[in-house]
Amino acid sequence: MKLWGGRFGEDTDDLVLKYTASISFDNRLAAYDLAGSIAHARMLAACGIISAAEGREIIDGLTALAQDIEAGKIEFRLDDEDIHMNVERLLTERIGPVAGKLHTGRSRNDQVALDMHLFVRDVCGETLDAIKTLQQALTTQAEQHFEVIIPGFTHLQRAQPVLLAHHFLAYVWMLERDKQRFQTLLAHADMMPLGAGALAGTTFPIDRQMVADELGFTQLYENSLDAVSDRDYLLELLFASSTIMTHLSRLSEELVLWSTEEFGWIELADRYATGSSMMPQKKNPDVPELIRGKTGRVYGHLLGLFTVLKGLPLAYNKDLQEDKEGAFDTVDTVIPALHLMAGTISSMQIRTDRLEAAFAHDFSNATDLADHLVRLGVPFREAHAIVGEWVQTAIGRRTNLAGLPLAFLQEKVAAIGEDVYDILSPSSVVRARQSRGGTAPSAVQLQLALAKERCGLA
Ligand code: ARG
């Protein structure tokens, strides 16, 4: 017999049961559901809505049940539909009809809202920790390879050299904003929905503040319709997670590129790479590839929930049950991705020999040569054109800018002297960019110190 079976004349069709049940995935909320029920029962007793003895029986029953669930001793039943009704049935089996008093003044609509708030609160903590772990991995690599210079790109074409540390730290700042987004989400999820009932509140003299205090919420939903219909905090979870995945996916793409023989800037640790069943020589960057690939499903969950919510009338509609699997899959995708990326970054080798050789036939010092001409009095636009011609000449002569003789340069710019060659090395080019936030070692030192503070390394 269904908990809500009173007004029904026949059993639910099997397909309907399977289609509407959520226990296969919302069993994950069991611990939150029990914690919420214990707080609710304590409040009911404190307010005299149930007796103290009844309260004690219910709370003891729930506590024992929580332990058995935790220990994996409980099997949930599909015909109990969802976690809330499974828990109530299990409690009834254990303590008898008094269990039926637990649901006084409560609906599954405010109950499931509470469970999801508690879930989000937990995953925010886990995600913040995981972000920090990756920030630390990047910051540590930045510090350990502080002297390493890499070609910087625009349009994936050589642009200007930058410190490898500068490149890694760029991701640390993206992740810093990700942390801020999760902190904001945490503040928005800090609202207690229980007491909204099905949609309109309850006729019992409940104390919502007490439940909030018990469960560590600082705010109450002020509107019962909003309390049972709000899924904004889940949209925020999915958006903040999608943004993390965007960052991880961009970094993944770079690791995939950098680990090719064509680039050869990094070598992934064997334990973070995989092989081929056919080609004995292969070492594949499966982890970054999969992180890049899994970004799609997280974006999909965000768009999915937006679509579920659009056009839903107030208050609860069964459509809202569709909020869960996407949220669960999102956190199951994002948190491991952060940890795996941290491991990949800390364990990889930087191929400094290859990076040093990378600048041999390189024109990423062309801006500096133009800037040099500007200092000699040539207007920048003219300097740009002159250096452009020199680049063309150097390409024709199979050399680089430093390979052009001084006499040749002086044909165009008489004032140019021998010291021009000093500014053309990658390290000079990098050292020259001392503007705040620039790639000069002096500027990056400052940045590194700040980044270490933000990720708890200082
Ligand atoms: N399993 C449901 C969900 O996740 C719980 C709330 C059901 N409420 C209802 N009136 N059917 O949304």
242 in catalytic set: no
Question: How many Å lie between the centroid of ligand 1 and the Cα of residue 96?
Answer: 24
The number of C-alpha atoms within 13 Å of 60 and in the hemisphere containing its C-beta is 10
What's the ipTM?
A: 0.97
Dihedral of the CA atoms 52, 54, 58, 61 (nearest 10)? 110
Bridge partners (DSSP) listed for residue 350: 266
Distance CA 321, CA 39 (A): 23
Amino acid residing at 312? L
| HEC sequence for 99-110 | HHHCCCCCCHHH
Question: How many Å lie between the centroid of ligand 1 and the Cα of residue 252?
Answer: 39
- What is the per-residue DSSP string for 228-285? HH--HHHHHHHHHHHHHHHHHHHHHHHHHHHTSTTT--EE--GGG-B--SS-TT--B-
The tens place of each residue's pLDDT in the chain, 458 residues long, gives 788 888 999 999 999 999 999 999 999 999 999 999 999 999 999 999 999 999 999 999 999 999 999 999 999 999 999 999 999 999 999 999 999 999 999 999 999 999 999 999 999 999 999 999 999 999 999 999 999 999 999 999 999 999 999 999 999 999 999 999 999 999 999 999 999 999 999 999 999 999 999 999 999 999 999 999 999 999 999 999 999 999 999 999 999 999 999 999 999 999 999 999 999 999 999 999 999 999 999 999 999 999 999 999 999 999 999 999 999 999 999 999 999 999 999 999 999 999 999 998 889 999 999 999 999 999 999 999 999 999 999 999 999 999 999 999 999 999 999 999 999 999 999 999 999 999 999 999 999 999 999 999 98
276 in catalytic set: yes
* pLDDT at site 385: 98
- What is the per-residue DSSP string for 37-75? HHHHHHHHHHTTSS-HHHHHHHHHHHHHHHHHHHTT---
Cβ neighbors of 21 (< 8 A, separation 6 or more) are 78, 79, 81, 82
* pLDDT at site 384: 98
Distance CA 219, CA 207 (A): 13
**Residue located nearest, by CA, to atom 2 of ligand 1:** 321
Ligand 1 pocket list (CB less than 6 A): 22, 26, 82, 108-109, 112, 316, 318, 320-321
- With the most atoms of ligand 1 within 8 angstroms of its CB, the residue from 28, 78, 85, 109 to mutate is 109
- What is the per-residue DSSP string for 170-228? HHHHHHHHHHHHHHHHHHHT-EE-TT-TTTT--SS---HHHHHHHHT-SEE-S-HHHHH
The answer to whether 98 touches 60, Cβ cutoff 8 Å, is no
Amino acid residing at 155? H
Cβ neighbors of 22 (< 8 A, separation 6 or more) are 81, 82, 83, 321, 324
Complete domains list, the chain, with CATH: 5-104 (1.10.275.10), 109-356 (1.20.200.10), 366-454 (1.10.40.30)
Q: Which long-range contacts (CB under 8 A, 24 or more apart) does 74-81 make?
A: 76/23, 76/27, 77/23, 78/17, 78/18, 78/21, 78/23, 78/24, 79/2, 79/12, 79/17, 79/21, 80/3, 80/23, 81/2, 81/17, 81/20, 81/21, 81/22, 81/23
Q: Which of 51, 276, 427, 442 is catalytic?
A: 276
Amino acid residing at 115? D
* pLDDT at site 4: 86
Query: Which structure tokens are listed for 202?
Result: 């309850």
Question: How many Å lie between the centroid of ligand 1 and the Cα of residue 360?
Answer: 65
**Residue located nearest, by CA, to atom 4 of ligand 1:** 321
Measured CA distances, 145 to 149, 261, 349, 441, 443 (Å): 9, 21, 10, 12, 15
Burial grade of 333 (CB within 10 A; 0-12, 13-18, 19 or more): buried
